Amino acid sequence: MPDEKTLPSSRSWLNRTVAGAGVTSALGDFCYETTTVILPGFLAVLGIPAAALGLIEGIADAVASFTKMLSGYIADKLGHRKLLVLAGYGLTPLGQALIALATSWPLILLGRMVSWFGKGLRGPLRDAIVIQAVSPATRGRAFGFHRAADTVGAVFGPLLGVALLGSAQSWHWDDAAGPFRFVLWLSLVPGVLAVLAFLVLVEDPRRSANPKLKLLGSLRALPGRFKRYLGAIGLFGVGDFSHALLILAATTLLTPTLGAVQAAQVAGLLYVGRNVVQVAASWPVGWLADRVGHLPVLVAGYALGAATATLTALAFWAGVDSVAWLAVVFFCAGLYVAVQEALEATVTAQLVPAETMTFGIGAMGTVNGSAKFLSSATVGVLWTAASPTLAFALAAALMLAGTLAIFRVGRR
């Protein structure tokens, strides 16, 4: 446990650690979200099908999810968190470099796995550092600010990536993948800066080690209500597909009227818009949750997630090629992700004892990521084998079931 002198009081929630974690996350997202927005187009010019993209994103999410619980367990056992977070941020640019070198999907998969292993390693520990740097009464605002700062990188990274991709199209390249590789190499710069920012700006007091902590014993000791909460998160997550597939959906729907390159650029801009919505909504979501309750706001966010999948399924069913319709889809996506990312960890902090909060956040991330592996892989394969309408309709049904399940957790 941290020394009593290090515990936060009712002082300002915007302290050095919260601000530093926000800057670091912004730089980290600038790095890997640039890849997210151009990856579908990169795979397309390499001739890799939608099923491969779904499997790549699903396996990457699975790697991140299992790493999350392990990192939380190791941190609670050893009492160290900052070094593990630094290592996690360092793996992101390494994974980006592997993707930039790829000529087929196996190396892209390896690069995505390395990056997402780093993401899983750092995520729960960084979130626990932010939550414990402020008082319980201001967690929503602090975490909302952190997620907003995090998403600033997810806005400007893809925006710059799309702009550079458009400019690079007019340059001379040996193959069609050249402009995509150029953007991928540039994305390494903010990834390296993220490591330096966390090292310099974030403070995390040394915590007492717990060498006798056992993984299975910690799992069994989790409160019953929290286990039901994890079940609801898992059910929702089985439908919560990677938004790389949402970008691919927009690209596919717009290509017949705009052409492949322009459709990819518009889809990328829609994703940037999704991230703008997330930035704008994150702090208000946290503010609202601090006043009316974190779990009820999370339920509303989950309902928006189900609406996002439903609208996407309807777009394929009706053959919609309207940018306005797709803008509504991406708006809903940005809003529900803002709620999900700002509040899932804070609700976890309310449901587990303080001494195992890091492990609890890791367990939540593991359940979420494991479910998303199934979702991304299933949506991608079902899209290829049957139809995108069926794939997104199934996702919508599962997300709605998860919404109802987490509503029941709140009622109890």
Contact 197, 23 (CB under 8 A): yes
Domain of residue 339, CATH code: 1.20.1250.20
Q: What is this structure's pTM?
A: 0.69
Contact 358, 76 (CB under 8 A): yes
Whether 5 is in a domain gets the answer no
Q: What is the total count of domains within the chain?
A: 1
309 Cβ contact list (under 8 Å, min separation 6): 239, 241, 392, 393, 395, 396, 399
CA 326, 329, 334: angle at the middle one, nearest 5?
Answer: 125
CA-to-CA distance for 76 and 358, rounded, in angstroms? 7
Expressed as residue numbers, the domain containing 245 is: 15-200+223-411
Whether 128 is in a domain gets the answer yes
Q: Is the dihedral of CA 207, 209, 215, 220 positive or negative?
A: negative
Whether 205 is in a domain gets the answer no
Whether 9 is in a domain gets the answer no
CA-to-CA distance for 46 and 260, rounded, in angstroms? 13
Whether 214 is in a domain gets the answer no
The DSSP line for 249-269 is HHHHHHHHHH-HHHHHHHHHH
pLDDT tens for the 412 residues of the chain, in order? 444 344 444 457 777 888 888 888 888 888 877 777 777 778 778 877 767 777 787 787 778 777 876 776 676 666 667 888 888 899 988 988 998 888 778 888 898 889 888 888 887 788 778 877 777 777 777 877 877 787 777 778 777 877 887 777 777 777 777 888 888 888 888 889 999 988 888 877 655 555 555 555 566 667 678 888 998 999 998 898 888 889 889 988 988 888 877 888 888 889 888 878 987 888 888 889 888 888 899 999 999 999 999 999 999 998 888 889 999 999 999 999 989 888 888 888 788 777 677 777 777 877 877 787 788 778 888 888 888 999 999 999 999 999 999 898 866 6
Whether 93 is in a domain gets the answer yes
Contact 160, 175 (CB under 8 A): no
CA-to-CA distance for 167 and 150, rounded, in angstroms? 27
CA-to-CA distance for 373 and 238, rounded, in angstroms? 8
Whether 347 is in a domain gets the answer yes
**pLDDT in the model for residue 144:** 79
